[in-house]
Amino acid sequence: MDTHACAEKTLISLPGHRPPSGRAAPFLPMSRAEMTALGWDACDIVLVTGDAYVDHPSFGMAIIGRLLEAQGFRVGIIAQPDWQSAEPFKALGKPKLFFGVTGGNMDSMVNRYTADRRLRHDDAYTPAGEGGRRPDRCTIVYTQRCREAFKDVPIVLGGIEASLRRIAHYDYWSDKVRRSILADAKADLLIYGNAERAVVEVANRLAAGEAPRDLESIRGVALFRRVPENYTELHADDLDSADEGAARRPGDVVIRLPAYEQVEQDKEAYARASRVLHRESNPGNARPLVQRHGDRDLWLNPPPIPLTSAEMDAVYDLPYARAPHPSYGDAKIPAWDMIKFSVTIMRGCFGGCTFCSITEHEGRIIQNRSEASILREIELIRDKTPGFTGVISDIGGPTANMYRMACKDPKIEAACRLPSCVFPDICPNLNTSHDDLIRLYRKVRETKGVKKVMVASGVRYDLAVKSPEYIKELVTHHVGGYLKIAPEHTERGPLDKMMKPGIGTYDRFKEMFDAAVKQAGKKYYLIPYFIAAHPGTTDEDMMNLALWLKKNRYRADQVQTFLPSPMATATAMYHTGVNPLRGVRHGGSDKVVTVTGLRQRRLHKAFLRYHDPDNWPLLREALKQMGRADLIGSRPDQLVPAHQPPGTGKAAGTRRPVRGTGGAQRFTTKGVPLRKT
pLDDT in tens, 609-654: 999 999 999 999 999 999 999 999 999 999 999 988 887 776 544 4
Mean pLDDT, the chain, rounded, equals 92
pLDDT in tens, 388-426: 999 999 999 999 999 999 999 999 999 999 999 999 999
CA distance 158 to 62: 13
Query: Do 573 and 515 form a contact (C-beta atoms < 8 A)?
Result: no
Question: Rg of the Cα trace of the chain?
Answer: 26
pLDDT the model gives residue 246: 87
pLDDT the model gives residue 559: 85
Cα 667–Cα 668–Cα 669 angle in degrees, nearest 5: 125
Mean pLDDT of 191-209: 96
How many other CB atoms are there within 10 angstroms of residue 152's CB atom?
A: 6
47 Cβ contact partners less than 8 Å away, ≥ 6 residues apart: 28, 61, 64, 65, 75, 76, 77, 78, 99, 100, 101, 102
pLDDT the model gives residue 668: 28
CA distance 261 to 292: 8
In the sheet that 525-532 helps form, which strands lie side by side, from edge to edge? Answer: 482-488, 525-532, 560-561
pLDDT in tens, 288-344: 999 999 999 999 999 999 999 999 999 999 999 999 999 999 999 999 999 999 999
Distances (CA, A) of 422 to 349, 513, 605: 11, 21, 28
pLDDT-wise least confident of 74-78, 240-244, 324-328: 240-244
427 Cβ contact partners less than 8 Å away, ≥ 6 residues apart: 407, 418, 421
Q: Specify the higher pLDDT residue, 587 or 645.
A: 587
pLDDT the model gives residue 395: 97
pLDDT in tens, 503-548: 999 999 999 999 999 999 999 999 999 999 999 999 999 999 999 9
pLDDT the model gives residue 516: 97
Query: Do 642 and 634 form a contact (C-beta atoms < 8 A)?
Result: yes
User: What is the pLDDT confidence band of residue 19, given thresholds at 50, 70 and 90?
Assistant: low
Determine what percent of the chain is predicted with pLDDT higher than 70.
Answer: 93
Q: Residue 77's closest CA among 147, 95, 87, 85?
A: 95
Pairing relationship of beta strands 45-49 and 98-102 according to DSSP bridges: parallel
pLDDT the model gives residue 3: 42
Compute φ and ψ for 170, nearest 5 degrees. -75, 130
3-state DSSP percent of the chain in helix, strand and coil, to 5: 35, 15, 50
- On the question of pLDDT at 9 being above 70, the answer is no
- On the question of pLDDT at 20 being above 90, the answer is no
Residue by residue, DSSP assigns 235-265 as ETT-TT-SSTT----SSSEEEEPPPHHHHHH
pLDDT the model gives residue 658: 33
pLDDT in tens, 425-437: 999 999 999 999 9
pLDDT the model gives residue 653: 42
> Could you tell me the pTM of the whole model?
0.92
Cα 482–Cα 487–Cα 490 angle in degrees, nearest 5: 125
Mean pLDDT of 210-235: 96
CA distance 75 to 66: 8
pLDDT the model gives residue 676: 31
pLDDT the model gives residue 647: 72
Mean pLDDT of 52-59: 98
pLDDT in tens, 444-467: 999 999 999 999 999 999 999 999
Mean pLDDT of 46-52: 98
Would the CA dihedral through 654, 658, 663, 668 be positive or negative?
negative
